[in-house]
Amino acid sequence: LALKRMAVRQGYRGSGIATALGRTALAFARQSGCRAVVLNTLMVQHQARALYERLGFCWHRRYVLPTLYGHLANCTVTVYRYDLSGAP
């Protein structure tokens, strides 16, 4: 399962909404028989990266965005993975 575009409006951040959304997505993936959940995030999204790591996602790989801007700005994308195999 690929998790894309999870966001919480600025004024509601810090209230546990993103954590609940993330846990719900993981539960859905588990119930649907998925083997893993993957997502991409930019290097500048520090809060998002911290959230994913708190939820148990592991760093999988990194790559520079394959565009002219990506190479000029060294815009790095981090791929996270949450392995569901063997999880309750």
**Type of residue numbered 67:** T
Query: 81: which 2 tokens?
Result: 């993975």
Place of tokens 């063997």: 86
Interval 14-60: pLDDT, tens: 899 999 999 999 999 999 999 999 999 988 788 899 999 999 999 99
Residue 1 has pLDDT above 90, yes or no: yes
47 CB neighbour count, 10 Å cutoff = 12
pLDDT confidence of residue 86: 67
Structural domains of the chain, with CATH? 2-83 (3.40.630.30)
Instruction: Decide which of 5 and 70 is more confident.
Output: 5
> Whole-model pTM?
0.82
